[in-house]
Amino acid sequence: AQTVTQSQPEMSVQEAETVTLSCTYDTSESNYYLFWYKQPPSRQMILVIRQEAYKQQNATENRFSVNFQKAAKSFSLKISDSQLGDTAMYFCAFVSNNNDMRFGAGTRLTVKP
């Protein structure tokens, strides 16, 4: 069974600094997708970034980038130049072509002014 683990229940960072959120997963599949979703207090889940397992290059979206280590089954999210609007719950998620999407328990990120 696929599992997703986020070992940091809460994190905080000063505005304009960089923070890294950790995620590990367990799967026997060779091809799959990984995602980071952001959920602000409004509850709307917003896709931050996605990574396809067969691509070695780490995905990047503006201030957000990932460090995808397939052998270690690790998928961390780096947020650069943190902004107050980045304050939210962040969920790591995994999906393969014969399984439903699995989410981690989430990391609550607080950006401090």
Residues near other proteins (CB under 8 A): 4, 33, 35, 37, 42-47, 50, 91, 93, 95-97, 100-101, 103-106
Closest listed residue to residue 39, CA positions, set 112, 108, 113, 111: 108
Query: By the 8 A CB rule, do 45 and 102 touch?
Result: no
Q: How far is the CB of 107 from other proteins (least distance, A)?
A: 10
Nearer to other proteins, 11 or 95 (CB): 95
Q: How far is the CB of 72 from other proteins (least distance, A)?
A: 21
Nearer to other proteins, 56 or 100 (CB): 100
Q: How far is the CB of 73 from other proteins (least distance, A)?
A: 18
Nearer to other proteins, 79 or 92 (CB): 92
- Measured over all CA atoms, what is the biggest interatomic distance in the chain, rounded to whole angstroms? 43
Q: How far is the CB of 66 from other proteins (least distance, A)?
A: 14
Nearer to other proteins, 12 or 14 (CB): 12
The DSSP annotation for 23-87 comes to -EEE-S-SSEEEEEEEE-TT---EEEEEEETT--SPPEETTEEEEEETTTTEEEEEE-S--GGG-
